[in-house]
Amino acid sequence: DDITLTKEQIQDLRKVFIVACGTSYHVGVVAKYAFERLLKIPLEVDVASEFRYRDPILDDKTLVIIISQSGETADTLAALRMAKSKGCRILSIVNVVGSTIANESDDVLYTWAGPEIAVASTKAYSTQLAVIYMIALYMADQLGTVPEADMARYMADLQRLPDLAEAALADKETIQYFASRYFNAHDMYFIGRNVDYAASLEASLKLKEISYIHSEAYTAGELKHGPISLLEDGTLVIAIATYEKLFDKMMSNVREVKARGAVVLGITVRGKEEALKQETDYQFCVPDITDFMLPSLSILPLQLFAYYVASMKGCDIDKPRNLAKSVTVE
Q: What is the CATH number of the domain that holds 142?
A: 3.40.50.10490
Confidence (pLDDT) at 327: 64
Rounded Cα–Cα distance for residues 156 and 139 (Å): 17
Confidence (pLDDT) at 3: 85
Q: Is the predicted pLDDT of residue 133 greater than 70, yes or no?
A: yes
In the chain, the percentage of residues whose pLDDT exceeds 70 is 98
Is 269 found in the same domain as 200?
yes
Cβ atoms 210, 320 nearer than 8 A: yes
Boundary-marking domain end, from 114, 146, 178 = 146
Confidence (pLDDT) at 60: 94
Is there a domain that residue 182 lies in? yes
Is 208 found in the same domain as 120?
no
Is there a domain that residue 179 lies in? yes
Strands 214-219 and 187-192 turn out to be parallel
Is there a domain that residue 152 lies in? no
Q: Is the predicted pLDDT of residue 306 greater than 60, yes or no?
A: yes
What confidence tier does 328 reach under pLDDT thresholds 50, 70, 90? low
Structural element, H or E, at residue 36: helix 22-39
Is 178 found in the same domain as 100?
no
Is 128 found in the same domain as 221?
no
Q: How far is CA 215 from CA 191, 235, 236, 249, in A?
A: 11, 11, 10, 23
What confidence tier does 324 reach under pLDDT thresholds 50, 70, 90? low
Is 124 found in the same domain as 175?
no
What confidence tier does 78 reach under pLDDT thresholds 50, 70, 90? very high
Structural element, H or E, at residue 147: none
**What does pTM read for this prediction?**
0.93
Rounded Cα–Cα distance for residues 266 and 281 (Å): 8
Please state which of the ranges 117-121, 168-172, 214-218, 305-309 shows the lowest mean pLDDT: 117-121
Rounded Cα–Cα distance for residues 169 and 172 (Å): 6
Is 211 found in the same domain as 141?
no
Is 218 found in the same domain as 118?
no
Is there a domain that residue 330 lies in? no
Taking alpha carbons only, the member of 38, 44, 41 closest to residue 18 is 44
What confidence tier does 116 reach under pLDDT thresholds 50, 70, 90? confident
Is 195 found in the same domain as 82?
no
Which one-letter DSSP state was computed for residue 189? Answer: E
> Average pLDDT of 20-31?
96
Is 142 found in the same domain as 177?
no
Structural element, H or E, at residue 54: none
How many CB atoms lie under 10 A from the CB of residue 85? 10
Is there a domain that residue 177 lies in? yes
Cβ atoms 124, 23 nearer than 8 A: yes
Confidence (pLDDT) at 326: 59
What is the rounded average pLDDT for all residues in the chain?
93
Confidence (pLDDT) at 86: 96
Q: Is the predicted pLDDT of residue 266 greater than 90, yes or no?
A: yes
**All residues at 6 or more sequence positions from 46 whose CB lies less than 8 Å from its CB, including other chains:** 17, 18, 19, 28, 54, 56, 79
Confidence (pLDDT) at 230: 79
pLDDT digits (tens, 9 = 90+) for 202-257: 999 999 999 999 999 999 998 788 888 878 899 999 999 999 999 999 999 999 99
How many CB atoms lie under 10 A from the CB of residue 72? 17
| Domains identified in the chain, total number | 2
Q: Is the predicted pLDDT of residue 329 greater than 60, yes or no?
A: no
Cβ atoms 274, 226 nearer than 8 A: no
Between 118 and 130, where is the model more confident?
130
Cα 19 vs. chain centroid, distance in angstroms? 14
Which domain range does residue 276 map to?
A: 169-313
> Average pLDDT of 126-152?
96
Is 284 found in the same domain as 177?
yes
Is 267 found in the same domain as 194?
yes
Is 188 found in the same domain as 86?
no
